[in-house]
């Protein structure tokens, strides 16, 4: 079925005659088959001609309730409370001898990178005594990990 871009008077007349029965006894696809057009072309032409859809509303879903004159707005979701978090001030322990090279680290040393050495530019590690159950000394553990307080937990929700 080749579809032409224009509608002949005979095709428009068929559409006007059959349109009132769309959805009751005939489908738009069937009208399209009669006139050699697609379903969407039939619907578009009916809209441009101003043909009303005569289907009853009782069998269809209503998209919105009938208007009572006043608009009911949906409540806006509450915005999260923004809390300014002050930085923690903890006196840092200086790294042992300017930091340890990776080959100097032992199992009890802190693994926090504190700088890069010269001339090899390899990482230097803190080297202070590790906190039990952590890879860091107490200072670096408190800097890298902290328990959320009530104010910080509210910000994250």
Is residue 153 in a domain?
A: no
Compute the distance between CA of residue 100 and CA of residue 116 in angstroms, rounded to an integer.
Answer: 10
Tell me if 31 is assigned to some domain.
Answer: yes
Comparing 1-10, 20-29, 62-71, the range with the smallest average pLDDT is 62-71
Residue 61 in any domain: the answer is no
Residue 4 belongs to some domain of the structure: no
Report the pLDDT value the prediction gives residue 68, as an integer from 0 to 100.
63
- On whether residue 100 sits in a domain, the answer given is yes
CA distance 29 to 49: 18
Model pTM? 0.35
Q: Which residue has the higher pLDDT, 37 or 151?
A: 37
Residue 155 lies in a domain: no
Structural domain includes residue 41: yes
Cα gap 147→113, rounded to integer Å: 22
pLDDT per residue over 80-101, tens digit each?
877 776 665 555 555 666 788 8
pLDDT-derived band at 56 (thresholds 50, 70, 90) equals very low
Report DSSP state, residue 136: S
- What distances in angstroms separate CA 42 from CA 9, 25, 56, 146, one per listed residue? 14, 16, 20, 66
Host domain of residue 44: 9-49
pLDDT reported for residue 18: 85
pLDDT digits (tens, 9 = 90+) for 103-143: 888 998 988 888 887 777 888 888 888 888 888 888 888 88
Per-residue pLDDT, averaged over 27-49, amounts to 87
Q: Say how many domains are in the chain.
A: 2
Better-scored residue on pLDDT, 139 or 4: 139
* 85 in any annotated domain: no
Q: What is the DSSP letter of 141?
A: H
> Which has more pLDDT, 48 or 63?
48
Contact between 39 and 29 under an 8 Å Cβ cutoff? The reply is yes
């Amino acid at each position: 079925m080749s579809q032409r871009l224009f509608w002949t008077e005979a095709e428009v007349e068929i559409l006007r005659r059959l349109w009132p029965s769309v959805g009751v006894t005939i489908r738009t696809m069937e009208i399209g088959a009669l006139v050699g057009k697609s379903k969407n072309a039939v619907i578009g032409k009916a809209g441009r001609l101003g043909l009303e859809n005569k289907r009853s509303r009782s069998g269809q879903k209503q998209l919105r309730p009938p208007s009572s004159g006043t608009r009911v707005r949906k409540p806006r979701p509450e915005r999260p409370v923004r809390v300014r978090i002050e930085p923690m001030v903890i006196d840092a322990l200086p790294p042992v001898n300017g930091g340890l090279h990776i080959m100097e680290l032992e199992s009890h040393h802190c693994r926090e990178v504190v700088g890069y050495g010269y001339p090899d530019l390899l990482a230097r590690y803190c080297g202070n005594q590790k906190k039990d159950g952590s890879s860091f000394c107490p200072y670096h553990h408190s800097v890298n990990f902290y328990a959320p307080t009530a104010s910080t937990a509210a910000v994250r929700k």
